[in-house]
A and B are shown apart, each in its own frame.
Chain A
Amino acid sequence: MGRYMVKRVLMSIPLLLVISFLTFVLINLSPLEPAEVVLQSQGVPKITEELLEQTKEELGLDKPFFIRYIHWLIDCIRLDFGESFVTGKPVWSLIGPAFLNTFKLTMVSSVIIILLSIGLGIICALKEGKFIDHSVRGISFFLTSMPPYLLASLMIWYFSVQLDLLPTSGMTSYQSYILPVTVITISYAGIYFRVVRSSMLTNLNEEYVLFGRASGLPERLITMHVLRNSLQVAVSVFCMAIPIILGSTVVIENVFAWPGLGSLSVRAILSRDFPVIQAYVLLLAAAFVVFNTISDMINAAMNPKLRNDL
């Protein structure tokens, strides 16, 4: 197991390097000249050739491409993502707290999504084809066809404005979590409970269930066995769900004015603040790789067969 862990962690390093390189290349492909954007955002009235050269030198943009990448990478590892073109503050001081806020929102939502999907998945699988199975699936089908931003707007309209129960936006108290978490849960639980359900159903048709029933095991024990086996599939899906939700809270955050990565990134895109965009992409891609690695490890811990795969 120890060897597997070390191998798996080492395997993610080249991937992280490729991702960082791609992020760097992507930003450098931009049709805009970064030095010009900096000068424009600082409100310099007339941009001369001389001034451009000077800014390029200040930003280290006159060096060869690969050297710039190495410098940039070393800075990134030290969490130094440069300074925002727009506000001039260090990017980390903007993105660090935002990441934390988004992370909190994601974790709260993920825990609820996981509990809800497992619960609903089990109920629907055990009552397959019955009324409850049909109704849960029908409702989830309808809710996943609904744009999350519409759901969010409707909830603000009803709970915050009409009933005046919950705050409309921002992140002030634990109450601020209720609406965004509900919207995220509704848009994702419907997808993940189907995973639990279908994996339960597959397992229920396995021969060990037949054997258990034939040997007179109580139905409760059989359900436990099935559950254990079907959750294995669910674990890897859930581990990947966390970074997916982390990356896709963008819309929800903007509707609820949540001071997180989503709001920050959209603002950065609209003002073409490249260092912030770069740091955002790098951070989330790295989070994606880290969670992927963790999910593989949990799977390997649960199922020794997988350890020989590497």
Chain B
Amino acid sequence: MRVVKNLWKDKLAAASFLVIMVTITAGIAAPLIAPNDPNEVNMNLRYAASSWEYLLGNDHLGRCILSRLIYGIRPSVLWVLVALFISVFIGAVLGFAAGYFRGKTDALVMRMCDTMLSFPGYVMALAIVGILGVGLENILIAFILIKWAWFARLIRTSVMQYAEQGYVKFAKASGISDFKIIYQHIVPVTLSDIAVLSSSSIGSMVLQISGFSFLGLGIQAPNAEWGMMLNEARETMLTKPELMLAPAFAIIIVVSAFNFLSDALQVALDPKLVTSKKRSFGTNAKNKLQEKEVAS
């Protein structure tokens, strides 16, 4: 509850949270909210300016931009969140196993992670899309395959901090099963680390996945996706540059909202960070890792 309170005090974080919630709701309820059919071609209305029926105007095929924007939330944001959730889940299972049991499990998981992380993220994603073929689901599979190793490694580090604590040793000595110790004593304390880790990579993931769609490797026409809408608008950039505005603002607003929220979450979960002075080495090393991740 303290976390929610801290977050709420931060006005920017509260606004970001609201933006994200509205976006997600709009994405889920797209068929109810969208004023028109996003794929309905209407050649009479090509490049039409905004009107009451088509609030944001029409694109090069006369399709309703607002409806396409709303339907575009699904591949651009919702599916990215699903991919993130799956990779965090895989990373958490392996990270908990490696950090708690140590020994051979740890060595095996870490070697697997080292190998996966020795491929630069983008290259790995391109390779997987190259093999499986273009399409949104293949991009998402590629991202899950790239990200799990990274999450597994960081979650392991976080678990290790707690696995050596006195209360965990006590629980072990009193004969409580390993599964129960992990579930009751380690999961709750590492949850905040996991939340910070995963929220900090949403923004860059949304950008990267829309980048793949922009290149034509992601979702295929006629489905709407923000990156692809930008690519379509780019083709008529010389005559109709204003077509880029709607998808561009959508991406920038959502990505900044996620970034602001992740920063605020980090502060809310660890009040020590409010003043940037006197950071402990641990949190600092983590920040560095995150910054490195944003780049890959």
A interface residues with partner B (beta carbon < 8 Å): 15, 18-19, 22-23, 26-27, 29-31, 128-129, 141-142, 144-150, 153-154, 156-157, 161, 188, 191-192, 194-195, 198-199, 201-202, 205, 233, 237, 240-241, 243-248, 250-251, 254-255, 265-266, 268-270, 272, 274, 277, 280-281, 284-285, 288-289, 292
Contacts and interface: CB of A to CB of B under 8 A. Distances in A.
A269 B126 contact: yes
Interface stretch (B78-86, B187-195, B208-216): B208-216
B287 A288 contact: no
B214 A251 contact: yes
A222 to B, nearest CB: 16
Contacts of A205: 277-279
Nearest to B127: A281
21 contacts: A149-B227, A153-B234, A191-B295, A195-B291, A198-B276, A198-B287, A205-B278, A233-B288, A237-B288, A237-B292, A244-B296, A247-B120, A247-B122, A248-B120, A265-B126, A265-B130, A266-B217, A269-B134, A272-B130, A277-B130, A281-B126
B186 interface: no
Contacts of B114: 15
B121 interface: yes
Main secondary structure on B side of the interface with A = helix
A277 to B, nearest CB: 4
B288 A251 contact: no
Given A15-B115, A269-B134, A277-B127, A148 B276 contact: no
Contacts of A157: 237-238, 241
Taking residues whose C-beta sits less than 8 angstroms from the other chain, chain B's interface range is 35 or more
Contacts of A18: 115, 118
Interface string B198-219: 0000010001001100111100
Given A195-B288, A240-B292, A269-B217, A280 B120 contact: no
Contacts of A188: 295
B184 interface: no
Interface stretch (B41-49, B59-67, B97-105, B251-259): B251-259
B130 A147 contact: no
B93 interface: no
A18 B256 CA distance: 38
B134 A270 contact: yes
Contacts of B108: none
B223 interface: no
B244 interface: yes
Interface string B106-149: 00000000110011111110111111111000000000000000
B133 A272 contact: yes
Report, nearest first, the 10 A-B pairs whose CB atoms are least far apart: A247-B120, A145-B256, A277-B130, A269-B130, A145-B255, A281-B127, A248-B122, A284-B123, A247-B123, A247-B122
A19 B119 contact: yes
Given A153-B234, A248-B120, A147 B279 contact: no
Contact of A270 (B207, B216, B284): B216
Nearest to B258: A145
A15 B118 contact: yes
B127 A198 contact: no
B294 interface: yes
Given A15-B114, A19-B119, A205-B277, 12 more contacts: A22-B119, A129-B276, A145-B255, A147-B251, A147-B255, A157-B237, A244-B296, A248-B122, A250-B215, A269-B217, A270-B216, A281-B119
B216 to A, nearest CB: 7
B75 to A, nearest CB: 15
Given A150-B244, A161-B238, A141 B127 contact: no
A84 to B, nearest CB: 13
A129 B276 CA distance: 9
A250 B281 CA distance: 35
A285 B118 contact: yes
Contact of A149 (B123, B211, B259, B287): B211
Contact of B279 (A15, A31, A202): A202
Contact of B291 (A154, A191, A268, A269): A191
Nearest to A18: B115
B274 interface: no
Nearest to A23: B127
B115 A22 contact: yes
Contact of B256 (A141, A237, A281, A285): A141
Interface in B210-243: 210-211, 214-217, 227, 230-231, 234, 237-238, 241
